[in-house]
Amino acid sequence: MNQFTDPVAEQEIVGAVLTDPDSFTSIRPIVTPEMFSNLKLETVYRTFSEQYEKNGLTDLATLAEISGVPGHVLVGCMAESAIPSLVHIKARKIADQFHKRHIQRQLAITIAQLGTLTPAEIAAALSNLAADVTIRNHEKSVFSPGELCKRVSALQKTREQERKEGRHQGADTGYPVVQQLLKGLAPKRMTVIAAATGFGKSTLALNLLYNTTTSGHRALFITNENDVDTNLDRLAAIHSGIRLKELEQGGQHRAAISFGEQFHNSGLFMTDNSPRTVEEIVGIITRHAIQHKIKVAFVDYIGEITPSGESSRDTEEARLARYAQRLVDCAKSLELHVVVMAQLNRQGNTKGRPTRAELAGCFKIAQKAHSLLLFWQDEKKRDVLTVDKNRQGPSGIDIHMDFDRTTQRIRELCVLTAD
């Protein structure tokens, strides 16, 4: 047996995903099937991965039948399942052992050729090996001049095709000015929507959710604040144009039928308002990105994320900054757009246009965001959406919005100019 293998860790990781399939979302970025030294366990893990990613069955009977590995082997893995708190440690150990085996094989090849290689060639072989291991170990890759030139050419072809197919911008916001300024809800980015208490940040997010899903994109709405029925009432009001109070009284059967016709086969996903840590939120987003191919994830809102572990001892500023970074990393790794709601520290409209400095608890939320939208009312009681930060284009732009609080519909009117 190779000294750089850990059969127990491999068995524990397979047991972990068989016992708790959703643990795969945190293991997947670390361990790939080829990293297993045991062929049967590699086959089981590969089969599980394929089934999970297409939202297929992952029960023992199905996995045993598809993989061809006897059921008693799978049961044995479950008996040795890793303790949840040790899953990441075990997964990283499997990855490390795999990389060591790779280095061992390449060194053996180089040593066997020592008699025919020049010192410069030996140094180059070792340098290439180090670079290969770094890339395989998920570190940032550096592209050569030739690779960069090929990438520029490929990008132009891809973008030309996307433009022809109407896919040259991110997911549709439903607001023409916002869409043009932000270039849509593009992958690998995070947008923060901030408003004072009661000013409609959740309602704006639900309008964005409605616009995104009705334009054909798949989206997930995670709420830590309002329960799912409250959000569904608002979404049904946005869809039907019926007053929210009338929907809350019941009997609006036509509205329910129309809602079902619109969304039954759509890409709309929504959670309840159970308390969740940032790790749980990232796990839910990851699972839906893998299984349901969502392109936008909404988090309502960052201030209600439940502290866990070390973050429970952090200051509010440090905690919210860590949450924001985790969500940015999530958007980048899963190639989707994350929309996060945040709180503004202000009462009424006496302070004029808000600034990012008024973000409750953490200015760093704005620093980590690719775009920051502030929703507020001016002294004329006009609802205003300010593009305060925008890495994709102009910022400091005020957009007059029509917020019908009876139906929850929010429409874009025009860009405001200084009076």
Report residue 348's pLDDT band, with 50, 70 and 90 as the boundaries: very low
Closest CA to 14 of 85, 94, 130: 94
In a domain, 384, yes or no: yes
Nearest to 109 by CA among 131, 95, 94, 128: 128
- Structural domain including 159 reads 143-169
Total number of domains in the chain: 3
Same domain, 352 and 316: yes
Whether 2 is covered by a domain: the verdict is no
192 & 331 share domain: yes
Q: Give a yes or no: residue 53 inside a domain.
A: yes
pLDDT reported for residue 292: 92
- CATH number, domain with residue 23: 1.10.860.10
Is residue 406 included in any domain, yes or no?
yes
Q: How confident is the model at residue 125 (pLDDT cuts 50, 70, 90)?
A: confident
Confidence (pTM):
0.79
pLDDT on residue 88: 87
- What confidence tens digit (pLDDT) does each residue in 239-274 have? 999 999 999 999 999 999 999 999 999 999 999 998
Same domain for 249 and 370, yes or no, is: yes
Three-point CA angle 192, 197, 199, nearest 5°: 75
Q: Write the CB contacts of 95 (distance below 8 Å, at least 6 apart in sequence).
A: 30, 31, 35, 137
Give Cβ neighbours of residue 315 (< 8 Å, ≥ 6 apart): none
Pair 98, 239 in one domain = no
Q: Same structural domain for residues 159 and 269?
A: no
